[in-house]
Structure 1
Amino acid sequence: MGKVWVKNIRVYAHHGCLPEETVIGSQYSVDVSVRTDLSKAAISDDLKDTVDYVHINKIVKEEMAVPSKLLEHVGKRILDRIFREIQTVKKAEVGVSKMNPPINGDVEKVTIVLKSKRNK
């Protein structure tokens, strides 16, 4: 078993419960970690034997482009697509962070983290 970890995918998106959040948008950061068998790729040196992090990045960017009220909702959509499109992934974790959230305080970011595993 091994891990492919794509950290700090930066996107500008339009998520939030306040109307101005969906109009103005803000900066987000997404971290994705997937567990899979990397032993074959370690020997073959062939992209088809691993999880392509370009594919993970594409999923994140496409799902972040769809406005949601809650970060939990967009995080679940990312997880669902990873399991649907990348059959070798056994477990996955997604963290979605909103930078400088409008919460009337000096806060760098808020983050939600969702974990899931493939149903057998």
Structure 2
Amino acid sequence: MRIGSMKVKNSRILLPRVRFYAHHGVDPQEQLTGAYFHVGIEADTDFNEAMQTDRLEGTVSYADLYESIKTEMDIPSKLLEHVAGRILQRLFDDFPSISRIRLTLTKENPPMGADCREAGVEIEAER
């Protein structure tokens, strides 16, 4: 895409580290009590129109991205891999202009008997 004399190679919406309280985990106690999780998103989308017009309709709203992610985080699951897959599918379904997503999902202080700040998964997917 071109803006004036510059050529834009990539454009990406970022939500680098959003914190959620959710009920995910293999242990039934984890699903009962819940824990803090962090979700990070890099979503490739063409926001050339927004750069030119200053109108929200020309991009993907990070507030809308947040709401879609929150919807999936609110559904208890055993595995982070499952939650991450659902988030990816929801974002691709809700935002047709997104072509690629890099998602990280981590759980704070996972109950694994180690001094571990967080553990999680990372996935990169394309439409």
For normalisation by structure 2, the TM-score amounts to 0.90
2:90 to 67, 73, 81: 81
3-state DSSP class of the match of 1:114?
strand
1:10 paired with 2:26, answer: no
Question: After TM superposition, where is structure 1 displaced by more than 3 Å over at least 4 residues in a row?
Answer: none
The C-alpha deviation readout for 1:97-118, integer Å capped at 9, x for no partner, is: 1000001010000020111111
Kindly provide the amino acid, as one letter, of the partner of residue 104 in structure 2: G
Q: Distance in 1 between matches of 2:121 and 2:68?
A: 18
Kindly provide the amino acid, as one letter, of the partner of residue 53 in structure 2: S
Q: 1:22: which partner in 2?
A: 31
1:103 paired with 2:112, answer: yes
Q: 2:55: which partner in 1?
A: 46
How many residues align? The count is 118
Q: Deviation of residue 38 (structure 1)?
A: 1.9
Q: Identity percentage over the alignment?
A: 34
Q: 2:40: which partner in 1?
A: 31
For normalisation by structure 1, the TM-score amounts to 0.95
The C-alpha deviation readout for 1:22-77, integer Å capped at 9, x for no partner, is: 11110111101100112221111000000110111001111011011100100111
Q: Distance in 2 between matches of 1:24 and 1:42?
A: 44
User: Structure 1: which 5+ runs fail to align?
Assistant: none
Q: Deviation of residue 94 (structure 1)?
A: 1.1
Kindly provide the amino acid, as one letter, of the partner of residue 37 in structure 2: Y
Q: Deviation of residue 80 (structure 1)?
A: 0.3
Kindly provide the amino acid, as one letter, of the partner of residue 42 in structure 1: M
Q: Distance in 2 between matches of 1:87 and 1:49?
A: 13
Instruction: Please tell me the root mean square deviation across aligned C-alpha atoms, in Å.
Output: 0.8
Q: Deviation of residue 3 (structure 1)?
A: 0.6
3-state DSSP class of the match of 2:122?
strand
Q: Deviation of residue 19 (structure 1)?
A: 1.0
3-state DSSP class of the match of 2:98?
coil
Larger Rg over CA atoms? 2
